[in-house]
C-alpha cells in the first residue's frame, strides 16, 4: 500500500511541525490513557504485605481482610497506606500519581461539595459537586470520548467507503436508488433521532452495551455524508485512463476498486478524518450535556460541562477543567487535520485560504 | 401491544418537545390557530343525567332541611396573614415549563402550572386553618356534620361569585358530580373518585345542599368541605371534544387571580392579575392575603438560570432548600445578603412529610425475597447522604408515615447502614460469595444487581452516592436518571426495580394506606380463596402501590381502617400496619426536612411571624406582599452602594 507517492505525502506531513507534533501529542495521550489505570486509580500499584507482593490494579478486588483490615469490601488503599505509615509498619504500598478513581466520593472536609484544586489532597483539578476527583473523571471521560470517536470514525468510513465506491463505480440504477435513499435518510435530524432512540433503551443493559448502542445509532445516521465524496471521487477516477487500462488488462472489479481507485482517493478520505473525529467528540459531549448520552455515573466531558455551567459562580474550576480539555482536544485534532490536508494537497505551493 | 404509544411514553421531555414543535408547525401551516368548534349545549343532557340517577341527585326543598343540625362556621379561628399587608405591586416568579393546557383535568393537565388555575386559585367550601387544623369558611358560610347519616350540610355564602361575575350556587355542585363522573373529561381517577367516594347530593335551595359519603370517617368533613365547584355556565359546551375545545380556555375561578387572554405569551410567560372585585376580598381569613396586583410567571427551564435571574433581581424569591444553594450559591457572606438586599429565612413548619425513599418493587424475581429487601435496607447509606450531601440539615425518615402526630408509629426506626447485617441478610438469600468486582453472586452465578431509577434530575447525585456505599455490602445499583414524567410513567407501569421518589402529602389528619399497600392496587387477583398467594396473578399498573405489596393481613387491617369511625382503633391499626410494612422491608425510608428555606429581595415583605405553622413553602397561603417603593430604593441602592442591616432569620416557633 505504501507507494512512493504516499511515502512522499507522509514525509511532507512530518515537515508540517504544528500538525505533526499535535499528532504525536494526541497519539501519546491516547496511548497513555489506555494504561490509565496505572496513573489514575484508587487501587495501589504495588502492595508489599507480610513479605509477599500484590499488584491489585488489573486483578480482582482485594477485600480489606486480605491486608489485615476488618472489612470485607474493597480495600481502601489510601487509608491502608496512612495506617501503615503511622504504625511504622514494614508493609508498604505505592499509590498511582492520582490516587482516586472516577466514581468515589472523597471529601477532604466533612461534606460533599466542590473543592478547589489542591496539591495537598492530591485533587489536582479539584472535586466536583459530590466530591469526586475531577482529574480522574476527566481522564476516563476523555478516554471514552477518544475511543468512541475512533470506533465511530472507523465504522463510518467502512460503510461510507463501501457504499460510496459501489455507487460511483457501479453507477446506473444502483447509484440512483442509493442516492435517493441517502437523500431521505440524511434528512432525518441526527441528534434528535439519537435522543429519541436512546431514551427508549432500557437501563437494564450494562454500560458497555449502552455505549455500543449509542455508537451504532450515531453511525447509522452519520455514514451518509461520506458516501457523497466517495461517490464523486470514484466516479471521477473510474473514467481515468489507468482505470480503463486496468479493466482492459482484465482486472476484476474488486481489484480495480481496492488496488487502483482507493489509493487514489485516499487524500479525500484522510482529509475528512479529523472532522469526523471532531464531530464524534462534540456529538457525544453534547448528548451527555443534554443528559441523553452515557448513563450516570459514567465519567464524561459533557456531564462535567453541565455541572460546571450550573456552578459557574461557586466552582469555576469544574467548567475550566472540562472546557479546557475540550478545547485542547479539538485544537489538536484540527491542527492534525490542517496538516494532513496540506500534506495530501498535490499543489504543494498553494496557500489554504 | 400498542408499540408507538410505548415509544411515545418513554420519550424524554426534549424529544416530546420536538414532536410538539413539529406538530404545532404542521398545524401552523394549516392556517388559523384558533380552531372553531360546532355549537353545543348540554343543559338537557345534564338534566337527563340527574333524572336518570335519582339516588345520587336528590332535589328537595328548604322545608325538608333537618332543623336539629349543629351548624359550625369556624369563626373562632384567628385571621390569616398580617394586617400590615399592602395590596399592589408586581411579583416576578418563574415556572419550569409552559403549561401544556389550561384545562385542570384530563390529559396533560396535572402540571406545575395547575396551582395557578386550581389549587391555589379556587376556594373550597371550607379550608384547613394553617395554624389550627380546623376548618375556616371558604365558599360556605356554615356547615353541619351529621355523622349518623354520613352527611354534611352546607350553606353557601350568598355573595360567592365566579370571576366572571356569575354567582356560585348549589347547581355548580350538582354539576361538579356530572362533570367528574362523565367520560368526556378523559380522567379515570376522577370518574372513580367522584362515583365511589360520594353517595348522594341533595339540593335544598340555591345556596343550601347536602352531600353524603359512604363511611363516617373521623375526618369525614374533609371529604366534602374540600370540594371545589365546577362552573356549570362555563362548561355548557362539555362534550366529546372537551379535551380540544377547552384546551386553551380559562375557566372562571372563585379565587383572587384571573388570567387575561392577552397576558399569555405562549411558550414564554403568563401574567395573573388580581381580581379587584373578588367576592372574598374583605372576608375574614382572606383579607390579608393574595396581595400582589400582578404575578408575572416567566418560563425558565433550568434551575441554575432561575437562580441567576434571582440574583439579578428579575425574580423576587428563590427556594434555598438545597444545601448547595443555602451554603454556597447564596452564602451568608454574599455581598447582596451582607448589604441587606436579599433576606434569608429558615422556617420550621409542621405537616406530614413527603415520603422520600427507595420504593422496592417486590414483584421482581429477586426482590420477592424478604431477606434481600432487608439487606437492601441495611446496605443503603442514607445517613451518609444526610450527613455529607445534605450537610446534616435533614433527618432520617423512620417510617413511611411520619408527621401524622399520634397516627405515626411512636418507636419504630429505619434500619441503619450496617454492612454486617446487610451481608448476613443477603447470605440468608443465597448471596454469600463476592465476585471479582466485589458484588455478591449466588450459586447460579446471578449477580446482586438492581436498577435504581429516579425522576428527580435535581437529586441525580444522590443515587451515585448510594451506589458507591452499597458496593461495600456487595450490592450493585445501576443508576437511571429520567425526567420527571418518564420516571413517573415507569413506576406507574411497575417496571422499576428500586425507585427513588416521594409522594407529596397534603395536610391530612391520618396517613392513607389503601393507595400504597392494599393488594387491590398490586395485583388483579392477589390471593386464592385460602389467602395464599395466587400463582397466576398479574401486576396491576397505574396504581400507587409502587412496592406491589400484597399481604392478606395488611388488606384486612386496611379495610378495617377505612371502615372505622373510631379514632383510637384507627391509631392502633395505623401503628400495626406501619410495623408490618417495616417488617416487609419493601421501602427504604430516606430523609425528611423539618423546615423550608428561602431567599428573597427586601421588597418582598412577610408578616412578623413569617408564615403559618402548616405552610410548605414561603409562598404558601399568599401572606407576603410586594413593596414597589422598596424595590425602586433597592435597585438604586445597588448602584449607589447604600446598604441595610443583614437579615438572616430562623423562625423556630413551630420546631
Alpha-carbon dihedral B278, B284, B288, B291, rounded to 10 degrees: -10
pLDDT of residue A321: 92
Cβ B453–A203 below 8 Å, yes or no?
Answer: yes
Instruction: Give B364's contacts in chain A (Cβ within 8 Å).
Output: none
Q: Mean pLDDT lowest for which of B60-69, B200-209, B413-422, B501-510?
A: B501-510
Q: Mean pLDDT across the stretch A338-345?
A: 82
Q: Determine the residue among B4, B12, B474 to mutate to test chain A binding: the one whose Cβ has the most chain A Cβ atoms within 10 Å.
A: B12
Q: Is the dihedral of CA B166, B169, B173, B174 positive or negative?
A: negative
Domain range B357-592, its CATH number among 2.30.30.100, 3.90.1150.10, 3.10.105.10, 3.60.15.10: 3.10.105.10
pLDDT at B3 over 50: no
Q: Mark whether A82 and A209 lie in a shared domain.
A: no
User: Predicted confidence band at A348 (pLDDT cuts at 50, 70, 90)?
Assistant: low
Alpha helices in B292-348 (DSSP H): 303-312, 323, 335-338
Is A187 an 8 Å CB contact of chain B? no
E-strand stretches of B218-263: 257-258
Cβ B328–A314 below 8 Å, yes or no?
Answer: yes
DSSP-assigned beta bridge partners for residue B209: B154, B203
E-strand stretches of B309-383: 317-319, 342-348, 357-360
If one compares A109 and B546, the residue with the highest pLDDT of the two is B546
Is A89 an 8 Å CB contact of chain B? no
Instruction: Give B491's contacts in chain A (Cβ within 8 Å).
Output: none
Instruction: Give B3's contacts in chain A (Cβ within 8 Å).
Output: none
* A258 domain residue, yes or no: yes
Q: Mark whether A240 and A210 lie in a shared domain.
A: yes
pLDDT of residue A350: 54
- The residues spanned by each domain of chain B are 39-85+98-259, 302-349+594-651, 357-592
Is A109 an 8 Å CB contact of chain B? no
Instruction: Find, among A284, A306, A325, the residue nearest to A128 by Cα.
Output: A306
Q: Mark whether A84 and A150 lie in a shared domain.
A: no
Q: Which three cell numbers stand for residue B301?
A: 427551564
Instruction: Give B12's contacts in chain A (Cβ within 8 Å).
Output: 195-196, 199, 291-292
Q: Mean pLDDT lowest for which of A264-278, B165-179, B285-299?
A: A264-278
User: Which residue of B lies nearest to A108 if distances are taken between CA atoms?
Assistant: B388
The alpha carbon of residue B527 is apart from the nearest alpha carbon of chain A, in Å, by: 30
Contacts 24+ apart (CB under 8 A), A176-182: A178/A227, A179/A231, A182/A224, A182/A227, A182/A228
User: Predicted confidence band at B4 (pLDDT cuts at 50, 70, 90)?
Assistant: very low
Backbone phi and psi for residue B115, each to the nearest 5 degrees, phi listed first: -50, -35
Q: Is the dihedral of CA B73, B77, B80, B82 positive or negative?
A: positive
pLDDT at B159 over 80: yes
Q: Which three cell numbers stand for residue B332?
A: 451568608
Q: Is the distance from CB of B467 to CB of B452 less than 8 angstroms?
A: yes
User: Predicted confidence band at B607 (pLDDT cuts at 50, 70, 90)?
Assistant: very high
Instruction: Give B327's contacts in chain A (Cβ within 8 Å).
Output: 113
Q: Is the distance from CB of B164 to CB of B170 less than 8 angstroms?
A: no
User: Which residue of B lies nearest to A189 if distances are taken between CA atoms?
Assistant: B18
Is A297 an 8 Å CB contact of chain B? yes
pLDDT at B452 over 50: yes
Distance, CA of A65 to CA of A62 (rounded, Å): 8
The alpha carbon of residue B303 is apart from the nearest alpha carbon of chain A, in Å, by: 9
Instruction: Find, among B285, B214, B226, B279, the residue nearest to B253 by Cα.
Output: B279
User: Predicted confidence band at B66 (pLDDT cuts at 50, 70, 90)?
Assistant: very high
Of B11, B423, B434, the CB nearest to A196: B11
| pLDDT averaged over every residue in chain B | 87
* A150 domain residue, yes or no: yes
| Domain covering B39-85+98-259: architecture | Alpha-Beta Complex (3.90)
User: Which residue of B lies nearest to A307 if distances are taken between CA atoms?
Assistant: B304
Of B436, B464, B486, the CB nearest to A130: B464
Cβ A105–B465 below 8 Å, yes or no?
Answer: yes
Q: Mean pLDDT across the stretch B592-620?
A: 92
Q: Mean pLDDT across the stretch A156-179?
A: 88
User: Which residue of A lies nearest to B468 if distances are taken between CA atoms?
Assistant: A104
Cβ A130–B465 below 8 Å, yes or no?
Answer: yes
Of B451, B453, B467, the CB nearest to A297: B467
Q: Mark whether A200 and A65 lie in a shared domain.
A: no
**Span B93-116, pLDDT tens digits:** 998 888 888 999 888 777 778 888
Q: How far is CA A38 from the centre of its chain?
A: 19
**Span B305-350, pLDDT tens digits:** 899 999 999 999 999 988 889 998 899 999 999 999 999 999 998 8
pLDDT of residue A332: 92
Cβ B10–A200 below 8 Å, yes or no?
Answer: yes
Distance, CA of B111 to CA of B117 (rounded, Å): 11
Instruction: Give A195's contacts in chain B (Cβ within 8 Å).
Output: 12, 14-15, 18
Is A20 an 8 Å CB contact of chain B? no
Domain total of chain A: 2
Cβ A105–B468 below 8 Å, yes or no?
Answer: yes
Q: What CA–CA distances, in Å, run from A227 to A8, B243, B259?
A: 27, 48, 55
pLDDT at A320 over 70: yes
**Span B549-589, pLDDT tens digits:** 999 999 999 989 887 878 899 999 999 999 999 999 999 99
Q: Mark whether A337 and A191 lie in a shared domain.
A: yes
SS (H, E, C) chain A: CCCHHHHHHHHHHHHCHHHHHHHHHHHHHHHHHHCHHHHECCCCCEEEECCEEECCCCCCCCEHHHHCCCCCCECCHHHHHHHHHHHCCCCEEECCCECCCCCCCCCCCCCCCCCCCECCCCECCCECCCCCEHHHHHHHHHHHHHHHHHHHHHHHHHHHHHHHHHHHHHCHHHHHHHHHHHHHHHCCCHHHHHHHHHHHCCCCCCHHHHHHHHHHHHHHCCCHHHHHHHHHHHHHHHCCHHHHHHHHHCCCHHHHHHHHHHHHHHHHHHHHHHHHHHHHHHHHHHHHHHCCCCCCCCCCHHHHHHHHHHCCCCCHHHHHHHHHHHHHHHHHHHHHHHHHHHHCCCCCCCCCC
* A120 domain residue, yes or no: no
User: Predicted confidence band at A216 (pLDDT cuts at 50, 70, 90)?
Assistant: confident
The alpha carbon of residue B32 is apart from the nearest alpha carbon of chain A, in Å, by: 28
Instruction: Give B457's contacts in chain A (Cβ within 8 Å).
Output: 291
Residue-number span of the structural domain to which A65 is assigned = 42-95
Cβ B389–A296 below 8 Å, yes or no?
Answer: no
User: Predicted confidence band at B225 (pLDDT cuts at 50, 70, 90)?
Assistant: very high
- Residue B433 CB neighbour total at 10 angstroms: 12
Cβ A61–B328 below 8 Å, yes or no?
Answer: no
Instruction: Give B479's contacts in chain A (Cβ within 8 Å).
Output: 203, 295-297
Q: Mean pLDDT across the stretch A77-91?
A: 89
Q: Mark whether A70 and A197 lie in a shared domain.
A: no
- Reduced to 3 states (helix: H, G, I; strand: E, B; else coil), residue B586 is coil
The alpha carbon of residue B8 is apart from the nearest alpha carbon of chain A, in Å, by: 9
* A220 domain residue, yes or no: yes
Q: Is the distance from CB of B170 to CB of B50 less than 8 angstroms?
A: no
pLDDT at A71 over 70: yes
Q: Mark whether A177 and A150 lie in a shared domain.
A: yes
Q: Mean pLDDT across the stretch B428-455?
A: 91
Q: Mark whether A209 and A173 lie in a shared domain.
A: yes
Size of interface A-B (CB pairs under 8 A): 112
Cβ B15–A196 below 8 Å, yes or no?
Answer: yes
**Span B249-272, pLDDT tens digits:** 999 999 999 999 899 998 899 999
Instruction: Give A72's contacts in chain B (Cβ within 8 Å).
Output: 419, 423, 434
Cβ A203–B451 below 8 Å, yes or no?
Answer: yes
Chain B residues within 8 angstroms (CB to CB) of chain A: 6-7, 10-12, 14-15, 18, 302, 304, 323-324, 327-329, 387-389, 391, 419, 423, 434, 436-438, 451, 453, 457, 460-461, 463-465, 467-468, 471-474, 478-481, 483, 486
Cβ B457–A291 below 8 Å, yes or no?
Answer: yes
Which residues are within 8 A (CB) of A53 and not within 5 positions of it... i.e. 6 or more apart? Answer: A46, A47
Cβ B471–A73 below 8 Å, yes or no?
Answer: yes
Is A34 an 8 Å CB contact of chain B? no
CA gyration radius, chain B:
26
Q: What CA–CA distances, in Å, run from B150 to B70, B175, B194, B218, B632?
A: 14, 21, 16, 11, 56
Q: Mark whether A48 and A25 lie in a shared domain.
A: no
The alpha carbon of residue A314 is apart from the nearest alpha carbon of chain B, in Å, by: 6
Of B18, B304, B486, the CB nearest to A309: B304
User: Which residue of B lies nearest to A203 if distances are taken between CA atoms?
Assistant: B480
Instruction: Give B440's contacts in chain A (Cβ within 8 Å).
Output: none
Cβ B419–A192 below 8 Å, yes or no?
Answer: no
pLDDT of residue B217: 74
Q: What percent of chain A has pLDDT over 90?
A: 17
Q: Determine the residue among B438, B493, B497, B498 to mutate to test chain A binding: the one whose Cβ has the most chain A Cβ atoms within 10 Å.
A: B438
Is A192 an 8 Å CB contact of chain B? yes
Is A291 an 8 Å CB contact of chain B? yes
Q: Mean pLDDT across the stretch A247-267?
A: 83
Q: What percent of chain A has pLDDT over 70?
A: 95
What ipTM, to 2 d.p.? 0.83
Q: Mark whether A10 and A89 lie in a shared domain.
A: no
The alpha carbon of residue A40 is apart from the nearest alpha carbon of chain B, in Å, by: 18
Where residue A206 falls (left for φ over 0; alpha for ψ -120 to 50; beta otherwise) is beta
Q: Determine the residue among B7, B427, B451, B461 to mutate to test chain A binding: the one whose Cβ has the most chain A Cβ atoms within 10 Å.
A: B461
Q: Mark whether A83 and A214 lie in a shared domain.
A: no
Q: Mark whether A140 and A249 lie in a shared domain.
A: yes
Cβ B15–A195 below 8 Å, yes or no?
Answer: yes
Amino acid at each position: 500500500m505504501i507507494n512512493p507517492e504516499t511515502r512522499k505525502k507522509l514525509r511532507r506531513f512530518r515537515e508540517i511541525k504544528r500538525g505533526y507534533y499535535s499528532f504525536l501529542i494526541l497519539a501519546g495521550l491516547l496511548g497513555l490513557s489506555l494504561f490509565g489505570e496505572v496513573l489514575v486509580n484508587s487501587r495501589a500499584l504495588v502492595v508489599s504485605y507480610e513479605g509477599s507482593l500484590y499488584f491489585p490494579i488489573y486483578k480482582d478486588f482485594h477485600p480489606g481482610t486480605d491486608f489485615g483490615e476488618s472489612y470485607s469490601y474493597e480495600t481502601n488503599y489510601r487509608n491502608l497506606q496512612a495506617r501503615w505509615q503511622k504504625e511504622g509498619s514494614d508493609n508498604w504500598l505505592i499509590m498511582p500519581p492520582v490516587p482516586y478513581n472516577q466514581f468515589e466520593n472523597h471529601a477532604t472536609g466533612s461534606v460533599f461539595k466542590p473543592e478547589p484544586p489542591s496539591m495537598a489532597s492530591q485533587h489536582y483539578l479539584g472535586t466536583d459537586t459530590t466530591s469526586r476527583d475531577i482529574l480522574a473523571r476527566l481522564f476516563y471521560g476523555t478516554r471514552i470520548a477518544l475511543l468512541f470517536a475512533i470506533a465511530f470514525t472507523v465504522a463510518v468510513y467502512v460503510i461510507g467507503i463501501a457504499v460510496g465506491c459501489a455507487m460511483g463505480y457501479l453507477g446506473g440504477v444502483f447509484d440512483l436508488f442509493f442516492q435517493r435513499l441517502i437523500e431521505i435518510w440524511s434528512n432525518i435530524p441526527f441528534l434528535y433521532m439519537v435522543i429519541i432512540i436512546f431514551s427508549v433503551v432500557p437501563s437494564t443493559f450494562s454500560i458497555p452495551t449502552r455505549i455500543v448502542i449509542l455508537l451504532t445509532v450515531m453511525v447509522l445516521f452519520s455514514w451518509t455524508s461520506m458516501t457523497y465524496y466517495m461517490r464523486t471521487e470514484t466516479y471521477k477516477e473510474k473514467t481515468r485512463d489507468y482505470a480503463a487500462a486496468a479493466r482492459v488488462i482484465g482486472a476484476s472489479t474488486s481489484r480495480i476498486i481496492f488496488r487502483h481507485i482507493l489509493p487514489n482517493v485516499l487524500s479525500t478520505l484522510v482529509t475528512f478524518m479529523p472532522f469526523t473525529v471532531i464531530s464524534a467528540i462534540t456529538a457525544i459531549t453534547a448528548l451527555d450535556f443534554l443528559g441523553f448520552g452515557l448513563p450516570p455515573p459514567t465519567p464524561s466531558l459533557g456531564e462535567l460541562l453541565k455541572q460546571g455551567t450550573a456552578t459557574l459562580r461557586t466552582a469555576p474550576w469544574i467548567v475550566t477543567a472540562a472546557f479546557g480539555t475540550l478545547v485542547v482536544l479539538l485544537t489538536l485534532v484540527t491542527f492534525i487535520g490542517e496538516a494532513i490536508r496540506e500534506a495530501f494537497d498535490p499543489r504543494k505551493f498553494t496557500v489554504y485560504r | 401491544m400498542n408499540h408507538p404509544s410505548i415509544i411515545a411514553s418513554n420519550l424524554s421531555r426534549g424529544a416530546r418537545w420536538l414532536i410538539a414543535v413539529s406538530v404545532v408547525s404542521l398545524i401552523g401551516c394549516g392556517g388559523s390557530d384558533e380552531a372553531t368548534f360546532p355549537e353545543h349545549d348540554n343543559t338537557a343532557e345534564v338534566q337527563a343525567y340527574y333524572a336518570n340517577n335519582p339516588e345520587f341527585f336528590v332535589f328537595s326543598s328548604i322545608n325538608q332541611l333537618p332543623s336539629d343540625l349543629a351548624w359550625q362556621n369556624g369563626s373562632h379561628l384567628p385571621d390569616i396573614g398580617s394586617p400590615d399587608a399592602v395590596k399592589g405591586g408586581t411579583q416576578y416568579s418563574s415556572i419550569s415549563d409552559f403549561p401544556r393546557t389550561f384545562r385542570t383535568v384530563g390529559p396533560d393537565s396535572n402540571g406545575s402550572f395547575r396551582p395557578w388555575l386550581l389549587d391555589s386559585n379556587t376556594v373550597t367550601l371550607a379550608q384547613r386553618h394553617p395554624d389550627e387544623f380546623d376548618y375556616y369558611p371558604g365558599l360556605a358560610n356554615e356547615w353541619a356534620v351529621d355523622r349518623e347519616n354520613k352527611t354534611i350540610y352546607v350553606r353557601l355564602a350568598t355573595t360567592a361569585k365566579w370571576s366572571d361575575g356569575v354567582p356560585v350556587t348549589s347547581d355548580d355542585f350538582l354539576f361538579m358530580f356530572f362533570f367528574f363522573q362523565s367520560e368526556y373529561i378523559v380522567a379515570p381517577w376522577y370518574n372513580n373518585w367522584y362515583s365511589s367516594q360520594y353517595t348522594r347530593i341533595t339540593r335544598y335551595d340555591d345556596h343550601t345542599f347536602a352531600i353524603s359519603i359512604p363511611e363516617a370517617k373521623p375526618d369525614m368533613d374533609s371529604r366534602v368541605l374540600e370540594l371545589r365547584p365546577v362552573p356549570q355556565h362555563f362548561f355548557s359546551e362539555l362534550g366529546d371534544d372537551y379535551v380540544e375545545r377547552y384546551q386553551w380556555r380559562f375557566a372562571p375561578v372563585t379565587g383572587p387571580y384571573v388570567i387575561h387572554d392577552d397576558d399569555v405569551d405562549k411558550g414564554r410567560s403568563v401574567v395573573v392579575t388580581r381580581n379587584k372585585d373578588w367576592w372574598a376580598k374583605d372576608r375574614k381569613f382572606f383579607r390579608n392575603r393574595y396581595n400582589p396586583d400582578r404575578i408575572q410567571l416567566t418560563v425558565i427551564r433550568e434551575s441554575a438560570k432561575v437562580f441567576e435571574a434571582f440574583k439579578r433581581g428579575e425574580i423576587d424569591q428563590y427556594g434555598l432548600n438545597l444545601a448547595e444553594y443555602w451554603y454556597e450559591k447564596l452564602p451568608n457572606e454574599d455581598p447582596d445578603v451582607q448589604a441587606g438586599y436579599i433576606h434569608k429565612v429558615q422556617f420550621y413548619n409542621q405537616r406530614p412529610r413527603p415520603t422520600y425513599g427507595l420504593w422496592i418493587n417486590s414483584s421482581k424475581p429477586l426482590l420477592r425475597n424478604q431477606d434481600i429487601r432487608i439487606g437492601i435496607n441495611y446496605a443503603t447509606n442514607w445517613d451518609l447522604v444526610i450527613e455529607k450531601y445534605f450537610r446534616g440539615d435533614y433527618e432520617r425518615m423512620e417510617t413511611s408515615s411520619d408527621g401524622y402526630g399520634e397516627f405515626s408509629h411512636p418507636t419504630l426506626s429505619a434500619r441503619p447502614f450496617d454492612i454486617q447485617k446487610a451481608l448476613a441478610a443477603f447470605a440468608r438469600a443465597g448471596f454469600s460469595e463476592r465476585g471479582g468486582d466485589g458484588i455478591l453472586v449466588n450459586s447460579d452465578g446471578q449477580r446482586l444487581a438492581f436498577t435504581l431509577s429516579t425522576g428527580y434530575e435535581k437529586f441525580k447525585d444522590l443515587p451515585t452516592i448510594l451506589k458507591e456505599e452499597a458496593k461495600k455490602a456487595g450490592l450493585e445499583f445501576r443508576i437511571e436518571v429520567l425526567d420527571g414524567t418518564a420516571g413517573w410513567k415507569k413506576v406507574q407501569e411497575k417496571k422499576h426495580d428500586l425507585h427513588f421518589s416521594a409522594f407529596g402529602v397534603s395536610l391530612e389528619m391520618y396517613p392513607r394506606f389503601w393507595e400504597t399497600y392494599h393488594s387491590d392496587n398490586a395485583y388483579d387477583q392477589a390471593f386464592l380463596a385460602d389467602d395464599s398467594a395466587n400463582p397466576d396473578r398479574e401486576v396491576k399498573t397505574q396504581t400507587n402501590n409502587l412496592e406491589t405489596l400484597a399481604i392478606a393481613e395488611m388488606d384486612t387491617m386496611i379495610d378495617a381502617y377505612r371502615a372505622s369511625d373510631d379514632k383510637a382503633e384507627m391509631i392502633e391499626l395505623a401503628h400495626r400496619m406501619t410495623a408490618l410494612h417495616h417488617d416487609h422491608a419493601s421501602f427504604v425510608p430516606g430523609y425528611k426536612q423539618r423546615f423550608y428555606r428561602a431567599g428573597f429581595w427586601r421588597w418582598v415583605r412577610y408578616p412578623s411571624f413569617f408564615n403559618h405553622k402548616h405552610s410548605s413553602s414561603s409562598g404558601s397561603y399568599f401572606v407576603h406582599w410586594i413593596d414597589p417603593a422598596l424595590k425602586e430604593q433597592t435597585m438604586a441602592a445597588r448602584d449607589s452602594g447604600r446598604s441595610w442591616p443583614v437579615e438572616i432569620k430562623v423562625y423556630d416557633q413551630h420546631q
